[in-house]
Structures are given as C-alpha cells and as structure tokens.
Amino acid sequence: MSKQTLDRILQSQGFGTRKGCQQLITRGEVSIDGDTVTNFRTSFETTGLTFTLFDETWIYRDHVYIALNKPSDFECSRKTSHHPGVLTLLPEQFTWRDVQPVGRLDHDTTGLLLMSDDGTFIHAQSSPKRHVPKIYIATTHDPVTPDLVALLLSGVKLHDEPAPLAAVSCHALDAHRLEIVLEQGKYHQVKRMLAAAGNHCSALQRSAIGRLTLESLGLKEGEWCYLDEAQRALLAPVAL
C-alpha cells in the first residue's frame, strides 16, 4: 500500500514530466471516481486506483507487462535505423515509462514479443541461465526433410559460436514449415541454424515463450495486451 500525490502518480504512469502532469491536473483533465481533481497535491492510495484522463480510464500499475504480436518491418532496437520501433505500436506513455522489449526479434520476424518497464523481470526473462523455451515457426525456402530436422536436433556449428547449437525440439509442420524450439537467444539464431543446415529461412514467427502462446492471447499482428500474473507464470522455465 502506498499513498502518493496525484502529480507523482500520473508521472509514474507515463503521462509526462512532473510539471506537465501538474498542468494536466490544474486544467481539470483528470478525474477519480467521477470527481475532477484540480489540486495536484491531493494524495491517493495507488493500489487499485483508477483515474480518467482525456475521457480514457486507466488502472494504476506499478509495472506493466505487455505481450505484442509484432508485425514485420518494426525494429526492437532503441536506436532504430531502417524501420519504426516496436514502441510506436504502443500508447505513448509506455515510452515515457521506459518500457523495453524483452530480448529482440529481427525486423522481419513476427509474433510474440514481451515488453516491460520492470528491470528485474526483463533481466530474469533474458538470462541465459533461465531455460525458457522459445517456439518459432520457420518457413523454409527448400523443402523440410527428415535430414534437416535431424541436423537441427543434433546441432549445427555457427560462425563465432564455440560449440554446435541444437534445437530443443524440432518437427516439420508441412513441406515448407517447421516448428523449432530454442532455449538460447543468439543473434539471428534460427535463420543462421537453418542456413548452416543447408536451407534458408524465408519467414519466421515466434509462436510461444514457455507455455504462453500467441494463439491463447488472440492478438492480431500489431495488437498488444497486458499480461496478468497467471499469464506471466506461464513464462517460467518448463521441462520439455
């Protein structure tokens, strides 16, 4: 439980600088329980607080945990070079809250991307020691063969990697698509593993992280949602 003044509350939720939030409140843009609050020094208990700003209602959140169905042609890096950043797909206050992608997907990879402003969560999810499987659906240029699947399962040697990298599991979905599960998150790993195995990845989608599937979230490309505690629990390491 913690009480905070309304200007600090709005600032923590990403609605701008402290001064900017004070101005919003003084102008009468913020209401709580149907009452407009114009004194920015008024304190509120933050747990369970909802407030309305510009006719939109928001729930106070200490941190945000977000799942995005990333479309192609968006970059995960902070300093984007050729395509817009994934943060442009989210409300602006998430940028103010310093929401960041958890790990990275290539600009042309689609699918499940986690985002958060909770450093502990980001660190835990990105840690190589935490064996959280990432499930990808790769479309291949050449047909998927039993030999290709066997090679990906036994391990392929990538340039700059001291030891061969192997898929945790891998199987053909149809003639040109395979599901591949990885526990590491090396740079372009799926594409490089497919290339090292003599094929070429022409499209890539991340369909699940741990037991959290994109399908269960029902997000169309470009859509996002908050993850609740039960959904975050599905991101724990699993025995495959």
109 binds ligand URA (CB under 6 A): yes
Q: How many residues sit close enough to ligand URA to count as binding (CB under 6 A)?
A: 8
> Least distance from C-beta 201 to ligand URA, angstroms?
7
- Please name the residues in contact with 79: beta carbons below 8 A apart, sequence gap of 6 or more: none
In eight-state DSSP terms, residue 87 is: G
What residues does 52 pair with on adjacent strands? 31, 57
Nearer to ligand URA, 63 or 200 (CB): 200
- Please name the residues in contact with 56: beta carbons below 8 A apart, sequence gap of 6 or more: none
> Least distance from C-beta 46 to ligand URA, angstroms?
37
> Least distance from C-beta 106 to ligand URA, angstroms?
4
User: Would you tell me how many other CB atoms lie within 10 Å of the CB of residue 47?
Assistant: 10
> Least distance from C-beta 185 to ligand URA, angstroms?
7
| Site track for ligand URA across 170-199, x = CB under 6 A | ------------------xxxx--------
- Strand pairing of 56-59 and 35-36? unpaired
> Which of 5, 10, 2 lies closest to 93 in space, CA to CA?
10
112 binds ligand URA (CB under 6 A): no
Q: Are 51 and 58 in contact (CB under 8 A)?
A: yes
Nearer to ligand URA, 6 or 158 (CB): 158
User: Would you tell me how many other CB atoms lie within 10 Å of the CB of residue 16?
Assistant: 16
Residue 228 annotated as catalytic: no
Nearer to ligand URA, 106 or 179 (CB): 106
Nearer to ligand URA, 97 or 191 (CB): 191
Nearer to ligand URA, 49 or 204 (CB): 204
d(CA 79, CA 63): 23
> Which of 68, 51, 71 lies closest to 59 in space, CA to CA?
51
Q: Which amino acid is present at 46?
A: T
- Say which of 33, 62, 106, 118 is annotated catalytic: 106
- Residue numbers 47-106 binding ligand URA by CB under 6 A: 105-106
At 160, is the secondary structure helix, strand, or coil?
A: coil
> Least distance from C-beta 57 to ligand URA, angstroms?
35
165 binds ligand URA (CB under 6 A): no
Binding residues for ligand URA, rule: CB under 6 A, are 105-106, 109, 188-191, 204
* Active centre residues (catalytic): 106
